[in-house]
Every structure is written in C-alpha cells, then in structure tokens.
C-alpha cells in the first residue's frame, strides 16, 4: 500500500518560544526528524503543512478563548511561520500552506506552496496554487497516510478526520504529536478512533 507521511504544522510559533506554543513542541520536532532519518524509505511521499495566515478574521483575537479564537500566530512570511529548526526538512517533498483568510485547521484545506523545494515532475504543467493536498496525494497514487505533528487536538485531529473522509487508510503516530491539553487530546484521540483512524502508540 502506497503510504504518505503528513507532518502537520511543526512551526516556530507552535513550539516553545513561539506566540502559541504547545508544550513539548520542540521535542516533537526533533522526534519527527529522527523518524524521518530512520523511516523515510517507508513512505512513497512526504508532505508538510504550514499555518500561513494573512487575515484570518475572528481566528485571531486580542482576547482569545483558545477554542475558536487564538493569539496572533504563523503570520505569512513571518519568523513564527517558519519550520522549527529541529525539524529536518530535507526529506519533505512538498509544503502545503493553509489559513490565509480563515482558520483552516486541516491539512486538506492547504494548497501547494508556490516555492516548493522539490519539482513536481509530471505535475509541472499544473498551476501550483491550485494543487490541494488531496490532489497531490492522488496524483502520487497514495492509499494510506500517517500523520504526525502539532497539535494533536486541533490540526492533527482535523487532518486525520478529513483523511478518513477522503478515503485514505489513516494512522496517527501519537508519540510524534503533542496536544494543547491532556483532556482535549484524549477526547480527540477517542473521536479519531471512533471515526476509523488507527491510533498508533509505541
């Protein structure tokens, strides 16, 4: 079965020192890098996402409720939107940016970054701005996805739910994710399991 790895939002703002840090975010960046070093050959393709906000409306708030509204984070072209330095990006073949003008929790809301480092081969005649993650996975004949990154109870959760809905055999590698709170993380993992996502723990 052709499998893709999706690395979700391992960005400076979501790690310690960022504007919206997840506890253990930097540790997850390093752990994902180690996983890539030892297991990149297990995947047909490897993709990553970036929150990439321009004007996401009520998603940003000076008085956030940390449910539907949040402090300013991952502004397009900002330092905080960059991948965390402990994430080894050498194995990542395509970047998908999401949330320019809305919240966009799921990787499946992202579009291929116009400055993707790796050429798209046969896809070069496709307008990059129009290539969604689902388009790209199907062009590469992907049947299954494994999901890692930040945060378990928000963007990882939304990505996994959309992956199942799109028909992919979906696994979340829990040890390579971190959540905002223990309670909402466990609730998210229960929801994912009920939806048909395989929850993989070491």
Annotated active-site positions, please? 9, 98, 155
Q: In 10 A of CB 150, how many CB atoms?
A: 32
Locate tokens 């990059």: which residue?
128
DSSP state of 122: G
Query: What is the CA angle 100-61-8, rounded to 5?
Result: 45
- Cα 173 → chain centroid: 13
Angle in degrees, CA 3, 190, 35, rounded to 5 = 35
Torsion angle of the four alpha carbons 49, 50, 54, 56, in this order, in degrees rounded to the nearest 10: 70
């Amino acid at each position: 079965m052709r499998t893709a790895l999706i690395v979700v939002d391992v960005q400076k703002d979501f790690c310690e020192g960022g504007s919206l840090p997840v506890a253990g975010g930097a540790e997850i960046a390093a752990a994902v890098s180690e996983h890539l070093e030892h297991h990149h050959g297990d995947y047909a393709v490897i993709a990553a996402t970036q929150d990439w906000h321009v004007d996401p409306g009520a998603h940003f708030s000076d008085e956030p409720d940390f449910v539907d509204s949040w402090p300013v984070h991952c502004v397009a072209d900002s330092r905080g939107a960059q991948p965390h330095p402990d994430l080894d990006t050498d194995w990542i073949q395509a970047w998908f940016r999401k949330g320019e003008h809305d919240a966009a929790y799921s990787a499946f809301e992202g579009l291929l970054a116009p400055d993707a480092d790796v050429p798209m081969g046969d896809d070069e005649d496709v307008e990059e701005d129009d290539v969604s993650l689902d388009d790209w996975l199907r062009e590469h004949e992907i049947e299954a996805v494994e999901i890692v990154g930040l945060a378990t109870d928000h963007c990882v959760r939304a990505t996994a739910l959309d992956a199942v809905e799109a028909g992919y055999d979906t696994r979340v590698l829990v040890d390579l994710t971190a959540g905002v709170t223990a309670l909402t993380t466990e609730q998210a993992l229960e929801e994912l399991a009920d939806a048909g996502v395989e929850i993989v723990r070491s």
